[in-house]
Amino acid sequence: MERLKRLPWRRLLALLVLAAVMVAFWAQPVQGETRYVIVETGSPSAVLLDKASSFAKGIATLKRDQEVEVLDEKALADGKTYIKVRVKDGDKTLEGYVKRVILGTAKVTVDGEGSETVGATGAAKLSKGLNQGIEDDMVKQDPQKTGKAIEQINKLEAARNKELGGDAKNPDPSKMIESYRKFGQDGRLLEGN
């Protein structure tokens, strides 16, 4: 009992508190986690923004499956969640914001049959698998009607891309966002007109 009484209880308590603080610190969400862009290159959402808001300025175009490093997650007062990220753009490293929903935990893998099977196994894998290759196969079965209809849809997409994003095949998402913002301002729907 005497030995127990002689122990430096206050020091031990301080050490325990310090240990608890360190454990709590290490248990925080990991910064620097890697995520992947799940929307198409050229989508209006595939853009690194300078601010965490809908009509912010685009500072870099993101590519599908591009790696991004998560720096911070910020839930805005408007309810929309953006994540602060770091991306590599050629030799440069840029920081900015992206919509949370455009990031996935894995790259989209395409298996031998051309199916997209993110995380799918067994029956789930069989039920998935929709991509350009499968659409091409569908068109082969009915080139006259479905084939021509798909051509029309491609034409619409090219027209939208060209008019809003400056290029029929590789639209610039920053230009698209700018055209949306201008539409809002010209119609007195957004402030800043």
Query: What is the total count of residues that contact other proteins (CB under 8 A)?
Result: 69
Helix (H, G, I), strand (E, B) or coil at 113: coil
Residue 187, phi-psi category: left (phi > 0), alpha (psi -120 to 50), beta (remainder): alpha
What would the x/- binding string for other proteins be over residues 9 to 48, using CB under 8 A?
Answer: -----------------------------xxx-xxxx---
**In contact, 108 and 65? CB cutoff 8 Å:** yes
Tell me the closest approach of the beta carbon of residue 6 to other proteins, in angstroms: 46
Burial class of 165 by CB neighbour count within 10 A (0 to 12, 13 to 18, 19+): buried
Q: Is 176 in the site for other proteins (CB under 8 A)?
A: yes
Query: Which of 93/170 has CB closer to other proteins?
Result: 170
Binder among 72, 89, 111, 142 for other proteins (CB under 8 A)? 142
Q: Is 112 in the site for other proteins (CB under 8 A)?
A: no
Return phi, psi of residue 99, to 5°.
Answer: -70, 135
What would the x/- binding string for other proteins be over residues 67 to 86, using CB under 8 A?
Answer: -----------xxx------
3-state secondary structure 42-80: CCCCCEEECCCCCCCCEEEECCCCCEEEEEEEEECCCCC
Query: Which of 16/119 has CB closer to other proteins?
Result: 119
The angle that helices 173-186 and 148-165 make with each other, rounded to 10 degrees, is 70
Query: Which of 34/193 has CB closer to other proteins?
Result: 193
> How many helices (H) does the chain have, and how many strands (E)?
6, 7
Q: What residues make contact with other proteins under the rule CB under 8 A? A: 38-40, 42-45, 54-55, 78-80, 99, 101-102, 104, 108, 113, 115-116, 118-124, 127-132, 134-142, 145-146, 149-150, 152-153, 155-160, 163-164, 176-177, 179-184, 186-190
